[in-house]
């Protein structure tokens, strides 16, 4: 995500770029690390607490990186400062999961690109 931030004109553009990578660019590749972590958390039970904890912590780390970019975007007035960065980061995690599922059911990337671009134009970001 750091590379995307350096390459992007703004923190919001970096977030969009990351989401596009995870949702669109990785469709024809093996499942992404983020996808595998989400599947691991969804499938594991308390019978494997160590593995479950590692997967949860990795997803939390991604969420925290989202929150850092959101704070930066708030400082640049790209995102409303009254919004909680951690809540917005969680929202993005959930949206990525849904978009990845939708991507598997669709052969057209245009709606996905549009949805990703519009994520930051509507509630809860605005």
What's the domain count of the chain? Answer: 1
- In this prediction, residue 46 carries a pLDDT of 79
Read off the pTM.
0.83
Residue 5: pLDDT above 70?
A: yes
Query: Whose CA is closest to 98, among 15, 4, 22?
Result: 22
Which single residue is written with the structure tokens 């390459």? 7
Q: Which domain holds residue 43?
A: 2-121
In a domain, 70, yes or no: yes
- In this prediction, residue 15 carries a pLDDT of 96
- In this prediction, residue 75 carries a pLDDT of 97
Decide: helix, strand or coil at residue 116: helix
In a domain, 15, yes or no: yes
Taking only the tens place, the pLDDT of each residue in 12-61 is 999 999 999 988 887 766 556 666 676 677 777 778 888 888 888 888 89
d(CA 107, CA 71): 35
In a domain, 87, yes or no: yes
- In this prediction, residue 88 carries a pLDDT of 97
In a domain, 104, yes or no: yes
In a domain, 59, yes or no: yes
In a domain, 126, yes or no: no
Taking only the tens place, the pLDDT of each residue in 72-125 is 999 999 999 999 999 999 999 999 989 988 888 888 899 999 999 999 998 898
Q: What is the CATH number of the domain that holds 113?
A: 1.10.357
């Amino acid at each position: 995500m750091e590379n995307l931030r350096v390459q992007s004109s703004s923190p919001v553009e970096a977030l969009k770029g990351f989401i596009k990578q995870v949702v669109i660019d990785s469709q024809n590749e093996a499942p992404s690390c983020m996808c595998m972590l989400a599947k691991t958390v969804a499938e594991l039970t308390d019978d494997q607490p160590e593995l479950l904890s590692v997967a949860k912590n990795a997803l939390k780390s991604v969420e925290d990186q989202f929150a850092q970019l959101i704070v930066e975007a708030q400082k640049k007035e790209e995102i409303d400062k009254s919004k909680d960065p951690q809540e917005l980061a969680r929202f993005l995690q959930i949206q990525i999961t849904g978009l990845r599922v939708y991507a598997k059911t669709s052969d057209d990337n245009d709606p996905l690109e549009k949805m990703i671009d519009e994520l930051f134009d509507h509630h809860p970001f605005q």
